[in-house]
Homo-oligomer: A and B are copies of this chain.
Amino acid sequence: MTRVVLSAAAFSADAELSRFARGRTAATGALASFVGYCRATSDHGAVEEIVLDHYPGFTEKEIERLSRAVAERRELIDLLVIHRIGAVPAGEPIVLVAALSSHRAAAFAAVSEMMDYLKTDAPFWKREQGPDGARWIDPTAADYARREEHAK
């Protein structure tokens, strides 16, 4: 089971995680989760907001495909991915990934993998808006390296 949401509005990571956790079964031993926030500074300076472009239809489909692959490979009970699109002011959550599993190793691996895929394989184009204007952000070499780890 997987659920993928692209949200143009702010979402409450707490409330979403709380709802997701209530879906656990008697076999659920582990909930791993990750929330990524828009930081107020980057390697390039002050950040007022991040703007995430996406490809309507295609982006959802690709993330759903990646999610299903991770959920199957890790035999998850449930997987949730929520990702902002559009402008995200500094301090707000950009992404939430959460996995319910029988055992902790699978839950950790699933969330970590899913985040790495989102960084390199999800159809998003991100730019930082700061006082000096906007800058496109590319995945880093470290992002690609982590993705390759999972592909092994």
Q: Hey, which bits of chain A sit against chain B, CB under 8 A?
A: 13-14, 17-18, 21, 24, 26-41, 90-91, 102, 104-105, 107-108, 111-112, 115, 142, 146
Contacts and interface: CB of A to CB of B under 8 A. Distances in A.
28 contacts: A13-B21, A14-B18, A17-B17, A18-B18, A24-B91, A26-B39, A26-B40, A26-B91, A27-B40, A27-B41, A28-B37, A28-B39, A29-B36, A29-B37, A29-B39, A30-B34, A30-B36, A30-B37, A32-B33, A32-B34, A32-B111, A34-B104, A34-B107, A34-B108, A36-B104, A39-B102, A104-B115, A108-B111
A95 to B, nearest CB: 10
Contact of A21 (B14, B28, B29): B14
Copy tally for this chain in the complex stands at 2
B90 A26 contact: yes
Contact of A14 (B14, B108, B142): B14
Q: Is the interface of A mostly helix, strand, loop or mixed?
A: mixed
Between A17, A24, A104, the greatest number of chain B beta carbons within 10 A of the residue's beta carbon is seen for: A104
Contacts of A102: 39
A49 to B, nearest CB: 13
Contacts of A105: 142, 146
